[in-house]
Amino acid sequence: MKSAVKNPKRMMPGRSSKKPDAASRLREKIASHTARVGIVGLGYVGLPLATEFANVGFQVTGIDVDERKVKAINDGVSYISDVPSEEVARLVREGLLQATTDYEEIAGLDTVNICVPTPLRKTKDPDMSFILGAVEHIQKHLHPGLMVILESTTYPGTTDELILPRLAETGLEVGRDFFLCFSPERVDPGNQRFNTHNIPKVVGGVTPVCSQLGALFYGQAIETVVPVSSTRVAEMVKLLENTFRSINIGLANEMAQLCDMMKIDVWEVIEAAATKPFGFMPFFPGPGLGGHCIPVDPFYLSWKVKLSGAEARFIELAGQINGAMPRFVANKVQSVLNDRGKAVRNARIHLLGMAYKKDTIDVRESPALDVLALLRGLGARLSYSDPLVPRVEIEGVELRSQPVLEACRRADCVVLLTDHSAFDYGAIARSARRIVDTRNAFRAHRMEKITRL
């Protein structure tokens, strides 16, 4: 891997007496901020990326099939918590940001970033339909000088094996007529310290020229760019990052279960282990994995490995452990109620938090929904509070967020699933009869009625 490049924007094109080729023309446009930037997919990855490039003076066109998102952006309204509506409104007003559902806009663009979802099917194999749909539209409007960059998380080989052959069908040559890269998104919704601008950007191209142009492009808006030797390396980087987290969280979750069996406080164990200044990095247990990355990304690698006749045993085992945590939590709630002589059936159980992580609105793959479904299956009377998620639907039944303290007073048991900053933990501790804390959020409140994982 090459070392990180600070400010690639300074790499200006050289002078030549010959007519500039496609790479030179694109290099000049990027360096002068006259390149017309396109972002396909305006979700948690695409919209923050679009605003970063618009903020440094590029004219950015966002393309999305969701007419509601397109209308919101053109009206100056953000639906992503990390992007203020005021910023979107200003960029739209200045003519630097617009959105459309029309893929024909690609014909007038110089760069296109693909930021569409890549979910897993129920069989745990990758669903490439969103990527293929975007590539099909790009292929129709591919033209000399266009740079295409895939950001959607996927398996190693996707860019070379899936996208390149389709774009090459146009007769244009990669590295000469058009340019193709992969750059893994590293968005962490709700993170107040790291955002799209200051998270280092890894990029690898199909050819060296592609890599150079990709690094130059990102260097205009991103603080640090990390070029790598190929798209496959860049694709594997993201999978390693999230597989590392999945496996270590799986270890923490297994430790929580083992400590529970031996009547040991796992949180105290982790806190004490974290005092070691080397050789240990703390990971924490919880009700399970959620979000669009960690529960999904490792299985892209596992699927690819299986195609080679091998087995990714760590990945599969971590997935099993993490996937079993919602049931472990439901069993813990059942045990707490049993200790008070009450069955789960018809018990009033109030859940705190539906989002998959602290201080976000995102419920994708949220383990809280799994815990809710399991307790509902046991016959519990359920309610929830989440300051950022006003409603959820589970098995055709809609629930709406309730006032926190009032609901906690009525409940036979309160289950903390998402440790939002907005919750008043002291007041909740005083109001609730019993609490099951899956996030160690009540660590400052040592009460007998609080049970931690």
Q: Is the pLDDT of residue 229 over 50?
A: yes
pLDDT band at 7 (very low <50, low <70, confident <90, very high): low
Q: What is the pLDDT of residues 233-280, one digit of tens each?
A: 999 999 999 999 999 999 999 999 999 999 999 999 999 999 999 999
Task: For the chain, give the mean pLDDT.
Answer: 93
Residue 257, token pair as written in the block: 């279960």
Residue 12 has pLDDT above 60, yes or no: no
DSSP 193: S
d(CA 308, CA 5): 35
Contacts of 418 (CB under 8 A, 6+ apart): 352, 353, 354, 355, 356, 357, 358, 366, 368, 386, 439
Higher pLDDT, 14 or 283: 283
Domain with CATH 3.40.50.720 in the chain: 18-229
Distance CA 44, CA 50 (A): 11
Q: Which regions of the chain carry the CATH code 1.10.1040.10?
A: 232-323
Q: Write down the pTM of the prediction.
A: 0.89
Question: Whose CA is closest to 245, among 155, 360, 322?
Answer: 322
Catalytic residue among 115, 210, 259, 293: 293
Is residue 293 annotated as part of the catalytic site, yes or no? yes
Q: Which pLDDT does position 4 carry in this prediction? A: 57
Q: Can you give the pLDDT at residue 6?
A: 55
pLDDT band at 16 (very low <50, low <70, confident <90, very high): very low
Q: What is the per-residue pLDDT for 19?
A: 63
pLDDT for residue 15 is more than 50: no
| Confidence class for position 11, pLDDT limits 50, 70, 90 | very low
The per-residue pLDDT for 419 is 97
Four-CA torsion 277, 279, 281, 287, nearest 10 degrees: -130
pLDDT digits (tens, 9 = 90+) for 404-427: 999 999 999 999 999 999 999 999
Question: Could you give the CA distance from residue 419 to residue 368 in angstroms, rounded to a whole number?
Answer: 11
CATH of domain 232-323: 1.10.1040.10
Q: For 315-362, write each residue's pLDDT tens digit.
A: 899 999 999 999 999 999 999 999 999 999 999 999 999 999 999 998
pLDDT tens track for 175-223: 999 999 999 999 888 888 999 999 999 999 999 999 999 999 999 999 9
Contact between 202 and 226 (Cβ < 8 Å)? yes
Residue 231 has pLDDT above 80, yes or no: yes
Q: Is the pLDDT of residue 389 over 90?
A: yes
Q: Decide yes or no: CATH 3.30.360.10 for domain 18-229.
A: no
